[in-house]
Amino acid sequence: MWFLLILNFAGKVAAWLLGAAEPAAAAFLWLTPDALIAYHLFVPHAQGLMRNARRFSTPRREVWLTIDDGPDPQDTPRLLELLARYDARATFFVIGENAQARPGLIQAIVNAGHEVAHHTHTHPVGSFWCASPARLARELDTGLAVLRASGVAPTRFRPPVGIKNLWLASALKRRGLVCVGWSARGLERRRGDADDVVGRVLRGVKAGDILLLHEGPRVPAAIRIVAIERTLKKLRELGFTCIVPTAGQLIDP
């Protein structure tokens, strides 16, 4: 991160020194470092500001199913039934506010043998990237407090839609949280039906992939649950098992 910030500062100084004498070069030096920082903030797979795991190592035909944005009173109980039926384990990246409203669902997820992980307290998609260190700390700590009240001590975090923040790496490190990205996602709100979602999340699926799907009201009604059920069915047909990898299995990109 510091390399990007120093580069940005150096670019601004150089642009200011060149000024009107070389306007095109000055504009390039002024804007290019900004574009680089924007890339690493907003592109989910970019690793320049911080590491976020996109795969895990396994000698077996295994994938990691991650389900974001719950818990949801309608979807989570049905998902737990589905996962049990397919003998699958998953990680639920939950929103603190949702967990606070339904602590029983957090317990149900844990009791069913799945992992609960941190996905911010309020899921601020539009403003997470520019949140101040104090606001970022509130997002992390309020969510942590809610989960701890349910007996859960999460070790993994995923930012909303994979957008990062300049202060996120150090904030996660201080709290013992590891940032987890994904190999493929269903993009449930894009055009198409449940089969399109399954096609997207399982395109070229291979052992060690991290798959991202969602629960809750942000998912279109016709896709809710159905896409996850069909994904589990297809994974079984392809001979994959859904597991939750250990910390040692995560691949540092």
Catalytic residues: 68, 214
Enumerate residues 61-120 that contact Zn ion by CB under 5 A.
Answer: 68-69
CA–CA separation, 251 and 253 (whole Å)? 6
Which CB, 157 or 240, lies closer to Zn ion? 157
Residue 29 or 168 with smaller CB distance to Zn ion: 168
Q: Give the CB-nearest residue to Zn ion.
A: 68
Residue placing its CB nearer to Zn ion in the complex, 29 or 120: 120
Q: Going by C-beta distance under 8 Å and a sequence separation of 6 or more, which residues neighbour residue 250?
A: 53, 56, 178, 180
Q: Do the Cβ atoms of 224 and 79 come closer than 8 Å?
A: no
CB closer to Zn ion out of 29 and 140: 140
Rounded Cα gap, residues 185 and 212, in angstroms = 4
Amino acid at site 241: T
25-37: b (≥16 Cβ within 10 Å) or e: ebeebbeebeebb
Cα(172)–Cα(157) distance, integer angstroms: 8
List the one residue out of 100, 79, 101 whose CA is nearest residue 91. 79
Distance separating alpha carbons of residues 36 and 92, to the nearest angstrom: 32
We find the least distance from the C-beta atom of residue 19 to Zn ion, in angstroms, to be 44
- Minimum distance, C-beta of residue 212 to Zn ion, in the bound complex (Å): 9
Least Å from the CB of residue 176 to Zn ion: 21
Closest CB 69 distance from Zn ion, rounded Å: 4
Let me know: does 84 contact 232? Beta carbons within 8 Å.
Answer: no
Per-residue interface string for the shown chain with Zn ion, residues 50-69, x marking contact by CB under 5 A: ------------------xx
x/- map, 147-186, Zn ion, by CB under 5 A: -------------x--------------------------
What's the min distance (Å) between Cβ of 218 and Zn ion? 8
Nearer to Zn ion, 29 or 65 (CB): 65
Neighbouring residues of 221: CB distance < 8 A, sequence distance ≥ 6:
none
Q: How many residues at the interface with Zn ion, by CB under 5 A?
A: 3
The residues binding Zn ion (CB under 5 A) are 68-69, 160
